[in-house]
Structures are given as structure tokens and as C-alpha cells.
């Protein structure tokens, strides 16, 4: 990027970098406490983005995505998220596998909102050498039980939760910083996105 004179790097980060915290409302200024190798390497990616911006005079924006879903989402494999997986299970006539009691919550964020955040992040004027970290997620908590109910069909609770200590029980975004820095707010709510 430096050799080609790229001015702006937009890095796809993850809400998982903040990890284990006392509160479920995630802010960007919390000390990161990743609880998985995936989250740790996402945090390192942010640090590389910030370092390369400082060293080489480009500017970087790290967008911490929260549970992105929508068209072309993965429906199987290790990186499929729960909405894609449940839709595939339903299509194949399988029972939806809700882990634990299903009361875990996430800020499910529709892909078109995430795309718009990327475009805004690419275009925003920034000083050379600077690095912005922004939450890109909704402020609405939705449980796995609610996802399963919306997808519809038979549910099986997998107990104990196979995620064990890797599970984050409640998580939702504070997205005020993205609103201030980019004028970004999610526009597609869960019901519309699922439809």
C-alpha cells in the first residue's frame, strides 16, 4: 500500500477484540481482553494498521464489526455465523441447534449498513498518520432464541453450551463514536434484515 501511495486503509476488525468485560455495552476505549485466537489476531491487525499509519503517513480506520448478516453470508463451516447456519439447518430440514439456554445476545448488524460504514470510512478526511477505531454495530440486543424463533422450525438446546469459556454471554454496541466520526447509524433493523 505504501509503495502504491495508498492514502487510506480500512481494516475489517471485530467486536470480539474487546472480549471479556464487566459490561455488555461495548465501547471502543475499553481495554481489549480477547478470549479467542481469532479475536487476538484481529486486535493485532488493528495494531498493525495503527503502526503502519504512523510509520508511513497513511491513515487507517479499523471498523469493529458486530455479527454481520445478510445476502451471501456463509451458511456452513467454521466461519458461518448463527443466522446463516440456522437458515441452512432449516432449509435442510434439520433442527436448529441453540447453544445453552439461548439467552446469549448479540447486536446483529445488516450487511448494507456495514458496507455504508466502509464507504464513509474510506472517504472521511483524516490526518496522515492517524488511526480511528469505530464500533459498527446496532444498539439492539437480540437473543439466540429470538433468532431461532424468527428463522422458525424445531429447536434443540445443546447443553452444556459447546463454546464453553469462549462464549460471550451478552454483547451490544455503543455506536456513538461512529455516529460522530462518520455520521453513521444502522438503518436496517432485525425484522427488515431477516425479511
Nearer to ligand UDP, 82 or 172 (CB): 82
Question: Within 136-165, which residues bind ligand UDP (CB under 6 A)?
Answer: 144, 163
CA-CA distance, 190 to 95, in Å (whole number)? 22
Closest separation in Å from C-beta 144 to ligand UDP: 4
Q: Is 98 in the site for ligand UDP (CB under 6 A)?
A: yes
CA-CA distance, 34 to 2, in Å (whole number)? 29
Which residues lie across from 98 on neighbouring strands?
A: 157
**Could you say which of 106, 116, 126, 184 contacts ligand UDP (CB under 6 A)?**
106
Taking CA atoms, 32 is separated from 11, 16, 29, 83, 118, in Å, by 17, 9, 9, 26, 22
Contacts of 5 (CB under 8 A, 6+ apart): none
Question: Within 51-70, which residues bind ligand UDP (CB under 6 A)?
Answer: 67
**Could you say which of 82, 126, 132, 172 contacts ligand UDP (CB under 6 A)?**
82
Looking up cell 447456519, which residue turns up?
85
Site residues, ligand UDP (CB under 6 A): 67, 81-82, 85, 97-99, 104, 106, 144, 163, 167
Catalytic residues: 38
Amino acid at each position: 500500500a505504501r509503495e502504491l501511495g495508498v492514502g487510506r486503509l480500512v481494516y475489517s476488525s471485530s467486536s470480539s477484540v474487546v472480549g471479556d468485560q464487566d459490561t455488555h455495552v461495548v465501547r471502543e476505549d475499553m481495554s481489549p481482553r480477547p478470549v479467542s485466537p481469532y479475536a487476538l489476531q484481529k486486535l493485532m491487525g488493528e495494531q498493525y494498521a495503527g503502526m503502519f499509519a504512523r510509520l508511513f503517513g497513511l491513515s487507517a480506520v479499523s471498523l469493529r464489526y458486530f455479527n454481520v448478516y445478510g445476502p451471501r453470508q456463509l451458511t456452513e463451516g467454521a466461519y458461518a455465523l448463527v443466522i446463516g447456519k440456522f437458515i441452512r439447518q432449516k432449509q435442510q430440514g434439520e433442527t436448529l441447534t441453540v447453544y445453552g439456554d439461548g439467552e446469549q445476545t448479540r447486536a446483529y448488524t445488516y450487511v448494507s449498513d456495514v458496507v455504508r460504514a466502509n464507504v464513509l470510512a474510506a472517504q472521511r478526511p483524516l490526518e496522515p498518520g492517524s488511526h480511528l477505531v469505530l464500533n459498527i454495530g446496532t444498539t439492539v440486543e437480540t437473543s439466540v432464541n429470538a433468532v431461532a424463533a424468527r428463522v422458525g422450525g424445531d429447536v434443540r438446546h445443546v447443553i452444556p453450551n459447546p463454546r464453553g469459556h469462549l462464549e460471550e454471554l451478552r454483547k451490544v454496541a455503543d455506536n456513538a463514536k461512529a455516529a460522530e466520526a462518520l455520521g453513521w447509524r444502522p438503518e436496517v433493523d432485525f425484522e427488515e434484515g431477516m425479511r
